[in-house]
Structure 1
Amino acid sequence: MRQYFTIFVLGLILAFSSCRTDFDTVASSGNLKFSKDTVYLDTVFKNIGSSTYQLKIYNQSKNDISIPIVQFKKGLDSKYRMTVDGMTGNNGKIFKDVTLLAKDSLYIFIETTADITDANPDDFLYTDEIQFDSGANLQEVALVTLIQDAVFLYPNQNPDGTKEKIKIDGKDVDGFYLNENDSANGNELLFTNEKPYVIYGYAGVPEFKTVTFEAGARVHFHANSGLYVGDNASLQINGTASTTDQLENEVIFEGDRLESLYSDIPGQWKSVIFSNGSANHAINHLTLKNAVIGLDLQSPYNTFEIKNTQIYNCAEYGILARDTHVIASNIVINYAGLASLSCIYGGNYNFTHCTFNNNWSSSSQVAVNLSNSLAGATPETNPLTNAIFNNCIIYGSATNEFNLDKNPNAPFVYQLNNCLLKFSSSTKDPNYQFKTDTEHYTNIILNENPKFYNVSQNKFNIDKTSAAFAKGDPVFMIPTDILGITRTSPPDLGAYQSQDFPK
């Protein structure tokens, strides 16, 4: 036993002595290396927390070092917060005696929540520095965040702590009705371009009222939020053509995360929903992105006029239309989990010079779906009185980008004139005889590449090498394209007039 005890004690001594070097540190000499000398936190709205940003610190010396202090220059008053290798320090602001082993690194994760009043009034930038050590050994990494002021619209809180609700399709959802005489915001039915708007929950348009969006208006929807146009209510989007890539005159609907990481993530907010009884809508120069369903249209008693509109990155549908009447031109839709355009339960539709593409990363999505039925509806079938596509492009990454769901118990009337269509599989189905079925198909260009400029960036411009170049019928020509450029005759197919791409 004495022999085993001696071996045990010797083992403890050896283990202890071998670990002691981990605790033998020298003071930092100011020679730390950083992954960045400035950390730019993307634009955030006032008082909304940012994403988390990363900074890596390197000790390239042969010694384990101790950094006496890591802190924000503004100390405990800083609007930034950080963790240092998982430690939270003093309120995420000040850390003392931070150990960094030889030839090793540590991570700092940084966030911010700031008000517009915290920012520099000249450029709306909020800045600070992370300081490492002090005196002669002081090293600093700059932090920069753009704070954007906004109008915030959200449901009120009831006395019992629950949120205000509105009814959509018979269900209570978190929401509120826009007030044209709001004590804080003034006329909430007029969205101007003076400040962006951030909406929490569903913003409802009251009965017999019209919500108007001026050119250049920016609307940001929080998660699970949207816009609801109720019975006898109307929507007018009055965007105009822009001259720069900033889309300065477009009306833009998107999520409320402004960081570049979120710029193309689908499903960040819900939808723009039009009730069955809504009326008198006009949409011009709208850019809508990253919703679940972009435009959810339902109203058999009304015509939706949609022009010069772009819809991208929707988790389910770009446009979902149910038993309604749509007249649309210069529409571009791409990236939708189910269909870029889905017209179901019948209706009456006319699309001219539109580009329906779907490059969603699966094999089950389509660019265009047409149906005259709806499971669970009463009755389950409804006449598709017209679905006309003139001078359009229907394309994408799947084998077949055009789907007809035809129920024989109701009329199903459709026609494609001078369209470029992707449908690669050979089939004897009489619905897809694009060359011989002259009742439904005229001058179809089948499975030829339109050569879009950059699909991944949602740029669907074409040039003279495109199979869509000068293949349109002048009878259906819309005089200007989605950018306001004059079309030539014969016109190109799709929403864009061809032009030379930048080199």
Structure 2
Amino acid sequence: MKRVTILLFLLSAIMLNLLSACDGLDEHYSTNPNHRLSFSIDTLSFDTVFSTIGSTTKELMIYNNNSEALNIESILLAGGGTTGFRINVDGRKGDSFNNVSILAEDSMYVFVEVTVNPNDADQPLLIEDSIVFVTNGIQQSVLLEAYGQDVYLHKGGLTITKDTVLSAKRPYLIYDNLVVEEGAKMTIEKGAIFYMHDNANIVVHGSMNANGTQNEPIIFRGDRLDFILDNVLPYDRTPGQWGGIYLKNTSFDNTMDYVIVRNGTTGITCELSEPEHSKLVINNSQITNMSKQLFFAINCNVTAANSEFSNARNSVVTLVGGKYYFAHCTLANYMTLLSRDPSSQTLRLANNATVDKNGPYPITQAHFDNCIIDGSWSAGEKDYEGEIQITSGGEWKVENTDFDYLFNHCMIKTKGVANTNFKDVIFLSKSPSYLMMGEKENKYSFDFRLASEEEEGIGKADLSIAQKYPKDRYGINRLTSTGPTIGAYEYDPSQKE
């Protein structure tokens, strides 16, 4: 018993000495004015922040690279909380903090958020503040900045019940769904931007006319403006950020010109319709980067020209029954952020297929003029596989087909030979070189313009078709001395990334 008592006494004495030593640290702060703080960044910038919608949280690191502990006499927001910025210092929220200690060779987090008040302006407004640190009488600061953007905010969704023109003065921020009721027409002004919240969709029972211009396209995208990986991968290049556009079975005579639809789940879905009546005419547009299928149509009438359909986990273009015409389009699947579905080719044509036990739906026509059909898969071992799949009643049909399909002056990643359905086609055993292919160094961006004058498709497009579409999506003239280029983009030797 005596030994236990002695042991407890010794342990108590050791603990008291350790506590005294720790208390002593608080009494030995450096008073040297040359001992200053260091910071991970001198300006903490936020991407555009929608008014009334709080930002994501960003972090700032404070470093004491000195050999002695420092007492930070004060940390405060210069604007006193009036600018909308908020800080959290070492786990505590507030606008100002006094006597914050930081040990020698140690660091500390400061977390920053901002909520911007409406400014009744159509253009973004710069909001600035700073975090001021005072140590040993020396003042240091880190600048805070954000652009506040007023938006047309629809948190409960938006329903169009009659013919309506949507202005492009401010962006739209859509929660839930944007719905166009049957019998109503939604016309969108050039330059309009739609920021779609997680799982939000555009559902059209009536009709949609989205006609932008080359300099003022209409954009549908997710509402996250920051990075999923700092300065590496933006949310705006990450698939699955919102839902998709659904043209319902009562929706006809839709038009899209100079429209960009990106980074959603399902892209554009044209639901079961009547091939005798135009479902969609889409020109000079880009549909890209979807976490499921990208463009899907059942028994519809669709015309597409000068447009890019690219990158999806599932197929890029799936056409089940109906009537279709694609001219000078680039269909490409090099999805890198998700694994491609092994059963989903870039282009799938399904004649006499059934959907949900309904059908079968015959393809009355599927013609492709001057198009690129390419992807990351090999050309395949059998003829007409690779990045295309053509079925009729569930069976492969490539010879003596019982429906009208034609590939004229196209480049196709497949092993094949010319026949009446494949006229002057370049069968690709390997992919062409494109300007940008989603590398980390260019923040996973893609540019499907041909990169070199040595590529096979340059000057090989059908001239009679090119004359109907004399300019590409970027306004480059196809009728030049190099001759028309296959795909959505004319090769231009002076082009830059």
TM-score, shorter chain, exceeding 0.5: yes
Shift of 1:144: 0.1
Shift of 1:203: 1.3
Report the residue type matching 2:458 in the other structure.
Answer: F
**Structure 2 residue 86 is the aligned partner of structure 1 residue 81:** yes
Distance 1:408 1:100, change over 3 A: closer
Shift of 1:34: 0.3
Residues 312 and 458 of structure 1 are in contact (CA less than 8 Å); yes or no, is this contact kept in structure 2?
no
* Alignment partner, residue 339 of structure 1: 315
Residues 255 and 290 of structure 1 are in contact (CA less than 8 Å); yes or no, is this contact kept in structure 2?
yes
Shift of 1:83: 2.4
* Alignment partner, residue 367 of structure 2: 388
Equivalents in 2 of 1:63, 1:488: separation in Å? 73
Residues 72 and 129 of structure 1 are in contact (CA less than 8 Å); yes or no, is this contact kept in structure 2?
yes
**Structure 2 residue 392 is the aligned partner of structure 1 residue 406:** yes
Distance 1:316 1:9, change over 3 A: same
- 4+ residue runs over 4 A deviation: 19-23, 27-30, 373-376, 408-412
* Alignment partner, residue 32 of structure 1: 37
Report the residue type matching 1:191 in the other structure.
Answer: L
**Structure 2 residue 298 is the aligned partner of structure 1 residue 314:** no
Report the residue type matching 1:461 in the other structure.
Answer: R
Residues 30 and 68 of structure 2 are in contact (CA less than 8 Å); yes or no, is this contact kept in structure 1?
no
* Secondary structure at the counterpart of residue 146 of structure 1: strand
* Alignment partner, residue 126 of structure 1: 127
Shift of 1:15: 4.0
**Structure 2 residue 484 is the aligned partner of structure 1 residue 502:** no
Deviations 1:358-413 (A, max 9, x none): 11132425321222366653434210122211111111222332223432599543
Shift of 1:442: 3.9
Report the residue type matching 2:478 in the other structure.
Answer: R
Shift of 1:273: 0.9
Deviations 1:254-298 (A, max 9, x none): 111222431211111111111111111111000111111111112
- TM-score w.r.t. length of structure 1: 0.84
* Secondary structure at the counterpart of residue 6 of structure 1: helix
* Secondary structure at the counterpart of residue 48 of structure 2: strand
Shift of 1:438: 3.4
Residues 47 and 146 of structure 2 are in contact (CA less than 8 Å); yes or no, is this contact kept in structure 1?
yes
Report the residue type matching 2:138 in the other structure.
Answer: N
Equivalents in 1 of 2:318, 2:257: separation in Å? 20
* Alignment partner, residue 10 of structure 2: 10
User: How is 1:109-188 mapped onto 2 (pairs within 5 angstroms)?
Assistant: 109-117=111-119, 124-133=125-134, 136-155=137-156, 175-178=157-160
Equivalents in 2 of 1:310, 1:482: separation in Å? 9
**Structure 2 residue 263 is the aligned partner of structure 1 residue 290:** yes
Residues 340 and 366 of structure 1 are in contact (CA less than 8 Å); yes or no, is this contact kept in structure 2?
yes
Distance 1:102 1:236, change over 3 A: same
* Alignment partner, residue 415 of structure 1: 406
Report the residue type matching 1:65 in the other structure.
Answer: L
Specify every segment of 5 or more residues in structure 2 that has no aligned partner in the other structure, as ranges.
228-233, 379-385, 396-400, 439-444
Residues 83 and 127 of structure 2 are in contact (CA less than 8 Å); yes or no, is this contact kept in structure 1?
no
* Alignment partner, residue 55 of structure 2: 50
Distance 1:18 1:290, change over 3 A: same
**Structure 2 residue 208 is the aligned partner of structure 1 residue 208:** no
Equivalents in 1 of 2:346, 2:421: separation in Å? 22
Equivalents in 2 of 1:471, 1:221: separation in Å? 40
* Alignment partner, residue 446 of structure 2: 458
Residues 160 and 184 of structure 2 are in contact (CA less than 8 Å); yes or no, is this contact kept in structure 1?
no
Distance 1:106 1:275, change over 3 A: same
How large is the RMSD of aligned CA atoms in angstroms?
A: 2.6
Equivalent pairs: percent with the same residue?
29
Deviations 1:84-134 (A, max 9, x none): 23x1334xx333332322111112221111113399x99711111112237
